[in-house]
Amino acid sequence: MNYNSTRNKNTVVSASQAIAQGISDEGGLFVPQSLPQYTLDDIKALAAADYRGRAKKIMGDFLSDFTFDEISESVDAAYTAEKFGSDNPAPISYIECGDRKISLLELWHGPTSAFKDMALQILPHLLTKSVKKTYNGKEAVILVATSGDTGKAALEGFKDVPGTKIIVFYPVDGVSPMQKRQMATQQGKNVSVAAIKGNFDDAQTGVKKIFTNPDIKNKLAENNLLFSSANSINWGRLLPQIVYYFSAYCDMVNEGKINLGDKINVAVPTGNFGNILASFYAMNMGLPINKFICASNSNNVLTDFIRTGTYDKKRHFYTTISPSMDILVSSNLERLLYHLTDGNAEKVASWMKELSENGAYTVDDEIKAKLSNLFWGGFCDDENTKKTIGSLYENENYLSDTHTAVAVNVYEQYAKETGDNTPTVIASTASPYKFAKSVLTAITDEELPNDEFAMVDELSAKTKTQVPAPLAALKNAQERFSFECEVDEMPQTVLSSLNIG
Ligand SMILES: *Cc1c(COP(=O)(O)O)cnc(C)c1O
């Protein structure tokens, strides 16, 4: 199976090239030329396997220039019980939500307590194998722009992986104290971390510019280095995410929650549109999905897009209590547009050009109709996010993080407005302990301790739940990175970190 660029149909690359390169030369994203098709019998067969077995089958169908052993090795190394707490890295908690039953797909049992681990624990294995196939002998330089969770998950995935170096940029005031501490204390010989004086979109745009800067590219080439991306624009990030939607469906069938063939809805707290897009791919491969519920926080650019067909990033940027969704340019939306236009790369390229030049674009009526047929968009502000955390805790004894609560709230809005009773899987994307302060204020009126770790302990004592071990260990970890730079100093920061200028 080969891959095209969303902005140029004549670009055709192999799976390993798509993963090694991350982004296409003209700025487009790599998309599969076709999708494997699964019948209900195929899904039944997946249901008989464990998570790793499901991952091997699904990823193998996409990575046609990998051997089965290479895929098997990658999957087995990534999804261990040691790293994810059990043999199922993506378990479901079933709860009631009003008079509806919902399935919370918990994607945060990995080493950094956020769903990014689901992809970033396996990406380094896929990437180093891809680089070996396509650019043998080169060292991969991973550049990451993060709104918090990706950075830490990428650092943890790539630390001390031979043949790789990783540089992470995060917005100085755009991540939670816990996220900052996770990154500042990162271990590993091949890692660098820098805070930029700007927001996440500045960081992401800055990284994209560095990727496509020919001078920097040449400098890397001279030093036998090659840029690659661990951001969710990399196909190697998206692919592992398709697996858990199939896996959740299989688990629900096995646990008697649904019958094979029943449709489900999927609700996802959305930022860069990677997670929800993975469920869209799953549906197009044969997974019975009825509706995609796209949940945003106050940065509700996607809600407006789904409702009006106009994507307009010219708006106030809010720093919210769900920082991993504080995004105004959702990169992976470009892939959805490509598929909704049946692969019209020229059209996608022109919309992306409008977005970068004028800050907005409007899709045709036909695309708008397709979009609103499949997707339902809604948003939830900080106050309602906290209310939702409070009521989930009070009524269901379920402790939810801020991002997950946004999705639960928007799902409730959807259910109320449409009356749709389809069983719904809600992606639960982070441990509540990553956002202890917001979660605590949502469940108690008592005065809070000042220190982040005192709040973590308080949350644990109050709710009688356990602090994830890697977060608990941060308390006494040594800080290694405190570097800050301006947005326009990002290119120089990269060259300095690599000791090449
Ligand atoms: C990254 C992230 C999201 C948003 O996911 P996208 O794939 O970027 O849409 C939501 N919640 C948490 C906790 C995250 O880390």
The model's pLDDT over 366-421, given as tens digits with 9 standing for 90+, comes to: 999 999 999 999 999 999 999 999 999 999 999 999 999 999 999 999 999 999 99
Check pocket membership of 113 for ligand 1, CB cut-off 6 A.
no
How far apart CA 43 and CA 462 sit, in angstroms, is 42
pLDDT of residue 201: 84
Per-domain boundaries in the chain: 85-115+236-332+363-435
Task: Check whether 311 has a pLDDT greater than 90.
Answer: yes
pLDDT tens digit string along 67-124?
A: 999 999 999 999 999 999 999 999 999 998 777 889 999 999 999 999 999 999 999 9
Mean pLDDT of the chain: 95
Query: What is the best residue among 429, 434, 438 to mutate for testing ligand 1's pocket, by most ligand atoms within 8 Å of CB?
Result: 429
Task: Check whether 212 has a pLDDT greater than 90.
Answer: no
Distance (angstroms) between ligand 1 centre and the Cα of 270 equals: 6
CATH fold of 85-115+236-332+363-435, please? Rossmann fold (3.40.50)
Determine contact, residues 139/445, Cβ cutoff 8 Å.
no
How far apart CA 499 and CA 501 sit, in angstroms, is 6
Q: From the alpha carbon of 434, which atom of ligand 1 is closest?
A: 13
**485 contact partners, CB below 8 Å, separation of at least 6:** 194, 195, 196, 197, 492, 493
Residue nearest to ligand 1 atom 1, measured at CA: 324
Query: What is the best residue among 329, 403, 428 to mutate for testing ligand 1's pocket, by most ligand atoms within 8 Å of CB?
Result: 403
Place of tokens 């402790």: 399
Task: Report residue 497 as tokens.
Answer: 């970190």
Task: Check whether 231 has a pLDDT greater than 90.
Answer: no
Check pocket membership of 232 for ligand 1, CB cut-off 6 A.
yes
pLDDT of residue 97: 75
Check pocket membership of 273 for ligand 1, CB cut-off 6 A.
yes
Angle at which helices 149-158 and 123-134 cross, to 10°: 60
Residue 148, by phi and psi: left (phi above 0), alpha (psi -120 to 50) or beta?
A: left
Helix (H, G, I), strand (E, B) or coil at 456: helix
Burial class (CB in 10 A: 0-12, 13-18, 19+), 100: middle
Distance (angstroms) between ligand 1 centre and the Cα of 401 equals: 12
pLDDT of residue 101: 86
Least confident of 50-54, 148-152, 327-331: 148-152
Distance (angstroms) between ligand 1 centre and the Cα of 271 equals: 5
Confidence of residue 26 (pLDDT cuts 50, 70, 90): confident
How far apart CA 284 and CA 277 sit, in angstroms, is 11
